[in-house]
Amino acid sequence: MSTCRRLARCGHPVVAWAHAAMLQYGARGVQPEADLSMKAVVSFCLSLTLAASALYASVLSAAPAPATPVIAPAPASAPVADAQSVHVPFAALGAYQPIHLRGLEDARSVVLGVRLDRVVTGARLRLRYTYSPALVFALSHVKLSINNEVVATVPFDKEHAGSVVTQDIPLDPRLFTDYNDFGLRFIGHYTVEQCEDPANTALWADISPTSEFVLDTAPIKLPNDLALLPAPFFDARDVGRLTMPFVLPASADSATLRSAGVLASWFGALADYRYARFPVSSSFPANVHAVVVATSAQLPAGLKLPPIDGPTILVTDNPASTDRKLLVVTGRTAAELDDAAYALVLGRAAMSGSAVKVAHIDIGKPREPYDAPRWMPTDRPVAFKELVDQTSQLQVAGGAPEPIRLNLRVPPDLFSWNSAGVPLNLKYRYTAPTVQNNSALAIDINDQLVKSFRLPPAKTDDTQGRFQLPILSGTSGASNALDIPAFRVGSSNQLQLRFNLESQKAGLCAGVASNPARAAVDPDSTIDFSGFVHYAQLPNLAYFANSGFPFTRYADLSQTAVVIPEHPSDNEIEAMLTMFGHMGQWTGFPSLRATVARPADVPKLAQKDLLVIGGAPSSPVFARWRGVLPLSIAGDGAQSPKDGVARAAFSVGERWRDGKRVTHGGASLDESGPLAALMGFQSPGTKGRSVVALAATADGHLTDLLDVLERSDRVSQVQGDVSLVRSGGVESMRVGDTYLVGYVPWYAKLWSRAVEHPVLLGLLGALAGLLIAIGAFAALQELAARRRGV
């Protein structure tokens, strides 16, 4: 060992590595000197020294090292049982568009999470990038870092300049934690003979959103502890779609399904943009975590549980996979099962241990209309600080930084009766130029320009006086009030604030700044939707597909009943639970007061909005409404498809340019292929109540509708009162009558009618003006007469 220490001090890098490895070997509790004879130790060390010296000499005598940096591979790992290889593209981490790196130095980052129940055993980055052919390649490169530790550099060369380059870069798996900030820092130069302009167009590199991390992971057996919830069943570190199997009794009653729906809506709210699907079975699924919902008498065999003497929540091993978990929600009765579900979604933050028994639960008062946590308040101005997790998200730096993005989710039935816009009171600060240039702030809503402001230069008194914290030192402040056109705002919106801060260019090197320009939007800036009323024309499936309206009008779904067949299949229950998940995703709140009903219960639900899940063409609930259905699957008395053919019939009721409605058109189709439909109409016999139905030629095709709701390009095609899904394509139409929901003041109705007749409105305006003039003239004449009388 002493020989190894001396050689390590002499500068032999390989020996130094070997010495460090032996020290680490000893630190793990293994003492070679204690187990081997001194002769063996000396022999081992000398052999290692000779081999290392030979290797070191060969490296020194080799040809000069290439200019391209060599990226050392991560240590190899032995095969692990149940290992998985996961591909995570940058697009799944929020980098939907190419990452643009500009200037002499620019940095961007993406955050990669690793599930709590997995450990990274191997990793590599498959980087796809393009760079400018005008760079000085010996000086330009991209530095890669993980959690602020540089792990590799990506050099540029002339041969591949201007074209897409794909490079696999090994990463050390020991650097990965639960959340990993992966940084890309661009260092660019276009000349070595003079000062460089940071805004020169030659300084660029683009990272493709198809770049991806390839992670080899192995499972970790977690303890049975409720304190880990919602992990491992839902893990916020996982950006993929949540697929959570539910284990239910073979013939689950409505109460059990309702409890499962509450849990599904909770998981959907947690999953948010990831979406969630809930396959259903009556047995334990293998190799996955799962949720078990049943009364104690209906729990599947094979579970080793303590005696159930009340509402109980527990975590246990999955008998089908020992390293997977089951979340068991149970009780002796349906009421206790409800209490256990409520306690889980409302009080899981206080839970610990492998099991808890619920002593008491209070779900609070029913929700008020339009108070969903994920929707913006529409009764007051909303400050920007309420729309971000941290106020640092409202600050940017650099000449052309990424835009500040604010997500605005509002109820879809907001109605602007006087064509008013959305008031925006914007306050911002920025590094002001000393002379007028092209520095500007552009305000976009949903990628449409609203207005662009030129940023004024600094004033002479900006360098005098006192500063009050917190502000950005050396910056100027400004504010603007403007209206966002109401027609550009939908239910799900994104407000984008784009700063463009140009550098000063009074000479060749005068534009070079040691510190980048900075800008910030004041957290107390506001946007105000309170001047709008809630009024909408239904059916409009676009409202449902984008925000779950009208069901999500009450966040707890207290005005909603979900109607399923008397004997639903697993696919139909999966569709029901997945729709509950969507409701939670749209509102951010579990569906605590939703009703689950069967076709025989429909007459009792006149005062509720109905969401109908019916995969079979012969569903009794569809037969009850055959006269008002905009689309009849297996209609005309047919009870079921014959010989693989399903019959679909609908009547055409489009409005033509002359305003007349065609009521005698129609079509009858015999479908040999799969067909799924989303339909909306007014509940028969109840004014203002809505029905949205999911139907298909067979219950297995209900998943086609669920797939549509998870794709933004397909959701945008869902409109009208009928949307047909065939082979992934969506065709929408309006074939039935419309109805109105909401409230509009009488003066708004009068004004809306008046603007439809501009000529008459003009005549009435002139007449009103004449009457006012006559009245004013008469009043002045009377006043003059009184003065003369005096």
308 vs 232: CA distance, rounded Å: 24
Whether the per-residue pLDDT at 469 is higher than 70: the answer is no
Whether the per-residue pLDDT at 637 is higher than 70: the answer is no
Claim to verify: residue 431 and residue 521 sit in the same structural domain = yes
Predicted confidence at residue 397, as pLDDT, reads 85
More confident residue, 743 or 709: 709
Claim to verify: residue 504 and residue 538 sit in the same structural domain = no
Claim to verify: residue 396 and residue 421 sit in the same structural domain = yes
Confidence of residue 44 (pLDDT cuts 50, 70, 90): very low
| pLDDT tens profile 252-284 | 999 999 999 999 999 999 999 999 999 999 999
Summary mean pLDDT of the chain: 80
Predicted confidence at residue 616, as pLDDT, reads 58
Claim to verify: residue 235 and residue 247 sit in the same structural domain = yes
**66 occurs within a structural domain:** no
Token duo for residue 628? 């008002």
Claim to verify: residue 186 and residue 204 sit in the same structural domain = yes
Give backbone dihedrals phi and psi of 396, rounded to 5 degrees, phi first.
Answer: -140, 165
Predicted confidence at residue 383, as pLDDT, reads 95
Predicted confidence at residue 685, as pLDDT, reads 83
- Average pLDDT for residues 213-240, to the nearest whole number? 94
Angle ∠(654,659,662) on CA atoms, nearest 5: 40
Q: Count CA within 13 A, CB hemisphere, residue 473.
A: 1
Token duo for residue 643? 């010989």
Confidence of residue 700 (pLDDT cuts 50, 70, 90): confident
Fill in the amino acid letter for 709: L
Confidence of residue 488 (pLDDT cuts 50, 70, 90): low
Are the CB atoms for 693 and 721 separated by under 8 Å? Answer: no
Claim to verify: residue 570 and residue 686 sit in the same structural domain = yes
Whether the per-residue pLDDT at 404 is higher than 80: the answer is yes
Claim to verify: residue 715 and residue 679 sit in the same structural domain = yes
Claim to verify: residue 197 and residue 247 sit in the same structural domain = no
Predicted confidence at residue 432, as pLDDT, reads 78
Q: Cβ of 756: how many Cβ atoms within 10 Å?
A: 8
Predicted confidence at residue 508, as pLDDT, reads 55
| pLDDT tens profile 538-593 | 999 999 999 999 999 999 999 999 999 999 999 999 999 999 999 999 999 999 99
Whether the per-residue pLDDT at 46 is higher than 80: the answer is no
Proportion of the chain above pLDDT 90, given as a percent: 51
Predicted confidence at residue 29, as pLDDT, reads 37
| pLDDT tens profile 169-201 | 999 999 999 999 999 999 999 998 778 888 788
**Residue 159's CATH number:** 2.60.120.260
**Residue 260's CATH number:** 3.30.379.10
Nearest to 370 by CA among 565, 105, 551: 551
Whether the per-residue pLDDT at 246 is higher than 90: the answer is yes
Predicted confidence at residue 464, as pLDDT, reads 42
| pLDDT tens profile 52-106 | 333 333 333 333 333 333 333 444 444 455 678 999 999 999 898 999 998 888 9
412 vs 637: CA distance, rounded Å: 38
547 vs 411: CA distance, rounded Å: 8
| pLDDT tens profile 311-352 | 999 999 999 988 899 999 999 999 999 999 999 999 888 899
Nearest to 69 by CA among 128, 144, 12: 144
Are the CB atoms for 698 and 625 separated by under 8 Å? Answer: no
**515 occurs within a structural domain:** yes
User: Widest CA span of the chain, in angstroms?
Assistant: 136
**78 occurs within a structural domain:** no
Helix (H, G, I), strand (E, B) or coil at 771: helix
Complete edge-to-edge strand list for the sheet that includes strand 665-671: 632-633, 646-652, 665-671
**751 occurs within a structural domain:** no
Predicted confidence at residue 458, as pLDDT, reads 67
Confidence of residue 658 (pLDDT cuts 50, 70, 90): very low
**747 occurs within a structural domain:** no
| pLDDT tens profile 585-619 | 999 999 999 999 999 999 999 999 999 998 655 57
Per the structure, the count of domains in the chain is: 6
Predicted confidence at residue 43, as pLDDT, reads 40
Claim to verify: residue 672 and residue 634 sit in the same structural domain = yes
Maximum mean pLDDT: which of 506-510, 642-646, 731-735: 731-735
**210 occurs within a structural domain:** yes
Are the CB atoms for 612 and 300 separated by under 8 Å? Answer: no
Whether the per-residue pLDDT at 465 is higher than 50: the answer is no
Claim to verify: residue 568 and residue 675 sit in the same structural domain = yes
Predicted confidence at residue 37, as pLDDT, reads 37
Chosen domain end from 179, 198, 219: 219
Surface-to-core class of residue 103, CB atoms within 10 Å of its CB (0-12 exposed, 13-18 middle, 19+ buried): buried
Nearest to 648 by CA among 636, 660, 663: 636
Predicted confidence at residue 644, as pLDDT, reads 42
More confident residue, 156 or 701: 156
Whether the per-residue pLDDT at 657 is higher than 90: the answer is no
105 vs 398: CA distance, rounded Å: 10
Claim to verify: residue 57 and residue 122 sit in the same structural domain = no
Claim to verify: residue 348 and residue 231 sit in the same structural domain = yes
Predicted confidence at residue 586, as pLDDT, reads 96
Chosen domain end from 531, 563, 594: 531
Maximum mean pLDDT: which of 185-194, 223-232, 492-501, 611-620: 223-232
Predicted confidence at residue 422, as pLDDT, reads 87
Surface-to-core class of residue 752, CB atoms within 10 Å of its CB (0-12 exposed, 13-18 middle, 19+ buried): middle
More confident residue, 466 or 353: 353
**264 occurs within a structural domain:** yes
**370 occurs within a structural domain:** no
Domain of residue 54, residue span: 2-61
H or E stretch at 726: strand 722-726
Name which of 42-51, 180-189, 517-526, 602-611 the model is least confident about.
42-51
| Single pTM value for the model | 0.81
Q: For the chain, what percentages of helix, strand and coil (3-state, to nearest 5) are there?
A: 25, 30, 45
Helix (H, G, I), strand (E, B) or coil at 316: strand
Chosen domain end from 531, 554, 588: 531
